Structure 1
Amino acid sequence: MNYFVVGDVHGCFYTLKKLLQHWDSDRQQLIFVGDYINKGKHSQQVVKLIRNLERKYPGTVCLKGNHEYEMVRYIERNIPENMIKDNFRNTLDHYDLKEKYRDDLKWMKKLPLYHENEALYITHAGVNWLNFRKFKEDSGWCVLRYRGRLKKMSKLQVFGHTPTESKHPEFNKTFNALNIDSGAGHFDAMSAVLIDELGKIKKTYTETIKKEDYR
């Protein structure tokens, strides 16, 4: 089976719907690297769509991003509103994760930190080169938020989190690593990559963020 791996979404519902038109649900496993919420206007709709896909296509993989982790932490710890980052607070103004959509918050909390198969190793932010504290969620070395030199793997390592300069997926041959965050959080673009069962990159898809997602 081939794999259709989607980069950071950040509440950009209409762009995500357009990007998913390239996905062949009969022949490709759908995988998300996390950061479904915040920044864009439609976090609730994004999560609803992804959870529906997860139910309809049981092989779908949804990883946790740092934005899901932080949102759970804010709410479970009852962090005062004035201490919550602006983009999280803006999301909560329209997406009541404290009460109405509490089940979505539970879903975010349970999301896994990585997915591995015969060809791929996928996380939100990448595995640090020392393999240090990679699953310690509150650490800067964690696969949720690491930015820096990566661990080289025999398998293709796929991640997001750090927007690429080109605003397209970028492959680093030295580390056998593929960054697919093309800047949805900055309202630049959203990307997905088609990868075959051997870990070979077959095709990339990039959609410019639609105005409906940020205006």
Structure 2
Amino acid sequence: MDYFIVGDVHGCFYTLKKLLQHWDSDHQKLIFVGDYINKGKHSHKVVELIRTLQAKYPGTVCIKGNHEYEMVQYIEKDVPLQEIKENFRNTLAKYDLRDQYRDDLKWMKRLPLHYEDEVIYVTHAGVNWLGLRKFNENSSWSVLRYRGRLKNMKKLQVFGHTPTESKHAEYSKKYHALNIDSGAGNFDNMTAVLISESGEIKKLYTENVKKEDYH
């Protein structure tokens, strides 16, 4: 089965729906690299859609992003609203993860940090070049938030987290790695990649972020 891997979403529900029109659910495994919430206006709708897809297609993989991790930390530590980052506060104003949608918060907490098989290695941020502390959620070297020189994983590495300068997916031959964060969090583009079952990049899909997601 091929892979359909979706980059950072950041609450951009309508853009995500458009992008998913390219996904063939019968022949492609669906994977998300994380950062489902914040910045865009529709974090709740995004999580609702992704969890529905995960229930309908049990092979769907949802990786944890730093925004999910930080939201869980804020709420579990009962951080006062005024001390929470602005884009998290904006999300919480419409998406009550403290009480009404607490189950969504539990879902975010349980999300895995990576997906790996014989041909691909998927994380939210890339794997640091030393491979140290990559699964230590509190570390700046972790796959939740690392930005910098990558480790070649000897298979295609797919990640997001750091918006590309080109606002399109960017491949590094040196690290055999593909960054598919094309800037949905900045209301630029959202990208998905179709990868063959042998690990070859077959096609890239990029959608401009819809105005309904940020106006």
- Same-fold status (TM-score > 0.5): yes
Letter paired with 1:17? K
Counterpart CA distance in 2 for 1:192 and 1:28 is 12
Number of residue pairs the alignment of both structures matches = 215
Q: Offset at 1:198?
A: 1.1
Q: Offset at 1:66?
A: 0.0
Residue 66 of structure 1 pairs with residue 66 of structure 2: yes
Residue 115 of structure 1 pairs with residue 115 of structure 2: yes
Aligned counterparts, 1:60-99, within 5 A: 60-99=60-99
Counterpart CA distance in 2 for 1:199 and 1:153 is 13
Counterpart CA distance in 1 for 2:88 and 2:120 is 31
User: 1:4: which partner in 2?
Assistant: 4
Counterpart CA distance in 1 for 2:196 and 2:86 is 39
User: 2:17: which partner in 1?
Assistant: 17
- Aligned to 1:87, what secondary structure does the other structure show? helix
Counterpart CA distance in 1 for 2:173 and 2:214 is 34
Counterpart CA distance in 1 for 2:119 and 2:135 is 21
- Structure 2: gaps (5+ residues): none
Q: Offset at 1:11?
A: 0.1
User: 1:125: which partner in 2?
Assistant: 125
Structure 1 runs of 4+ aligned residues shifted over 4 Å read none
**Superposition RMSD on alpha carbons, in Å?**
0.4
Aligned counterparts, 1:28-47, within 5 A: 28-47=28-47
- Aligned to 1:22, what secondary structure does the other structure show? coil
Q: Offset at 1:10?
A: 0.1
Q: Offset at 1:180?
A: 0.2
Q: Offset at 1:81?
A: 1.1
Letter paired with 2:48? K
Identical counterparts, % of pairs: 74
Letter paired with 2:86? D
Counterpart CA distance in 1 for 2:149 and 2:197 is 26
- Aligned to 2:178, what secondary structure does the other structure show? strand
TM-score, with normalisation over the residues of structure 1?
1.00
Which digits, 9 at most, give the CA deviation of each residue in 1:114-155, with x for residues without a partner? 000111000000100000110000110000000000001210
TM-score, with normalisation over the residues of structure 2?
1.00
Aligned counterparts, 1:158-177, within 5 A: 158-177=158-177
User: 2:57: which partner in 1?
Assistant: 57
Letter paired with 1:197? E
Counterpart CA distance in 2 for 1:117 and 1:89 is 37
Counterpart CA distance in 2 for 1:181 and 1:208 is 13
User: 2:150: which partner in 1?
Assistant: 150
Letter paired with 1:180? I
